């Protein structure tokens, strides 16, 4: 059961990611990204990380992507036109780069093939519940957590400043 669900949603997340890049229309791309996030949330759920799954849905799918979608709809962005000519450098470097990329990908997959010690089992995550996440955030990772919040504050201030300038 778990394996079947894992297969379905792993396939779905990869398929949505591919569709997101291949789609011409920005709304379809945004929705495919939401599909990726939803599938990832279910994969977290399968691993037993319930809180992270819910947070993934609430924060990414429920808040951030809605804002993306609103902006796309407000601008009423249509389908992207196909680029008329591709640059020579891109065409020349494309083939070797994809070989390098595939090689790196294969290497990563190869080194992360699970051995007996690192085998992942379903519903066995020990760090995904609300208690664990809270504990980790407020004890071990307190400093990075605080620094991140300052970073977010700076981003908000930056947005306010930019919006101000626009109005004048």
- Which residues between 79 and 118 bind another protein (CB under 8 A)? none
Task: Candidates 5, 6, 20, 51: give the one binding another protein (CB under 8 A).
Answer: 51
Q: Which is nearer to another protein, 17 or 27 (CB)?
A: 27
The two tokens of residue 138 are: 């407020």
Q: Which is nearer to another protein, 105 or 123 (CB)?
A: 123
Q: Which stretch binds another protein (CB under 8 A): 5-13, 63-71, 103-111, 138-146?
A: 63-71
Going by C-alpha positions, the residue among 117, 121, 20 that lies closest to residue 68 is 20
57 is a contact residue toward another protein (CB under 8 A): yes
CA-CA-CA-CA torsion sign (24, 29, 99, 101)? positive
- Which residues between 123 and 142 bind another protein (CB under 8 A)? 129-130
40 is a contact residue toward another protein (CB under 8 A): no
Q: What are phi and psi of 27, to 5 degrees?
A: -65, -40
Contact call for residues 38 and 21 (beta carbons, < 8 A): no
Can you tell me the distance from the alpha carbon of 47 to that of 29, in angstroms, rounded to the nearest whole number? 27
DSSP state of 65: H
Q: Which is nearer to another protein, 6 or 28 (CB)?
A: 28
Contact call for residues 55 and 129 (beta carbons, < 8 A): no
Binding site for another protein (CB under 8 A): 27, 31, 34, 38, 50-51, 53-55, 57-58, 61-63, 66-67, 69-70, 73-74, 129-130
């Amino acid at each position: 059961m778990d394996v079947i669900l894992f297969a379905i949603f792993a396939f779905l997340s990869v398929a949505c990611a591919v569709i997101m890049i291949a789609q011409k229309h920005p709304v379809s791309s945004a929705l495919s990204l939401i599909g990726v996030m939803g599938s990832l949330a279910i994969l977290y759920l399968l691993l037993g990380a319930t809180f992270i799954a819910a947070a993934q849905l609430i924060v990414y799918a429920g808040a951030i992507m809605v804002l993306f979608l609103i902006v796309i709809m407000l601008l009423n962005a249509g389908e992207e036109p196909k680029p008329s000519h591709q640059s020579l450098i891109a065409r020349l470097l494309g083939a070797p780069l994809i070989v390098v990329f595939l090689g790196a990908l294969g290497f990563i997959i190869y080194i992360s093939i699970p051995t007996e010690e690192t085998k992942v089992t379903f519903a066995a995550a020990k760090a995904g519940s609300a208690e664990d996440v809270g504990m980790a955030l407020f004890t071990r990772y307190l400093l990075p957590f605080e620094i991140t919040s300052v970073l977010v504050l700076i981003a908000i201030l930056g947005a306010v400043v930019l919006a101000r300038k626009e109005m004048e």
